[in-house]
Amino acid sequence: MQHRWTPNRVGRREALSILGASLVGSFTGCLSGPSFPDADVIAGADSQNVFEPAELTVQVGASVTWGFASAGHNVCCRPDDSDEADLPVDAEGFASYGPDESPEGSLVPRGNTYEHTFDVAGQYDYVCVPHESLGMTGTIHVE
C-alpha cells in the first residue's frame, strides 16, 4: 500500500507545533505590556521596580514623558514627600499626583503617562515613593 501525500493534510506533531507557535505569538503581546513610543522614561518596565533609563539629559524647556508599563508606581520630585527627591534651588517640585494626594497611595494606572516640563537647569533626582526603598530612583539632567 502506498501512502500518498496530500497538501491539505497535517500530521499531529505538525498541528501541535503550529498551534503552540500561534498561542505563544498571541500571548506575547499580552505579556509584554503597553507600548510607549513617545515616552522618554518607562516606569516599571518588565514589571521591575525601575525607571528606564535611570538617567536622562534634556534641554531647558523640554518636556519629559513617563510611561507606566506596570501598575503600582508614581513619579515624585518633591523633597517634602521623599528624602531621596532633590531639585535645583529655583525649581518647583513635581509629582504624578496632586498636592493634596498621598504620595504612597497615589499611583498611576498601567498604560497611562505623566509629563513634566523642565524650565530650570540643574539636576532633578526623583523617585517612585512606594518603591524608593527598593532603589526605584531616576535623574533628569537639564542643561
**What is the residue-wise DSSP string for 21-52?**
HHHHHHHHHHHH----TT-SEEESGGG-S-EE
The C-alpha cell at 78 is 518633591
Mean pLDDT over residues 32-44, rounded?
83
35 or 138: which carries more pLDDT confidence?
A: 138
How many CB atoms within 10 Å of residue 119? Answer: 12
Cβ–Cβ under 8 Å, residues 87 and 124: yes
Lowest-confidence pick of 15-19, 41-45, 48-52, 79-83: 15-19
DSSP-H helix ranges across 33-143: none
pLDDT confidence of residue 17: 44
CATH topology of domain 41-142: Immunoglobulin-like (2.60.40)
Cβ–Cβ under 8 Å, residues 73 and 136: yes
Q: pTM score > 0.85 for this model?
A: no
pLDDT confidence of residue 71: 93
Domain residue spans of the chain? 41-142
* pLDDT tens for each residue of 82-122: 999 999 999 999 999 999 999 999 999 999 999 999 999 99
pLDDT confidence of residue 7: 45
How many CB atoms within 10 Å of residue 89? Answer: 6
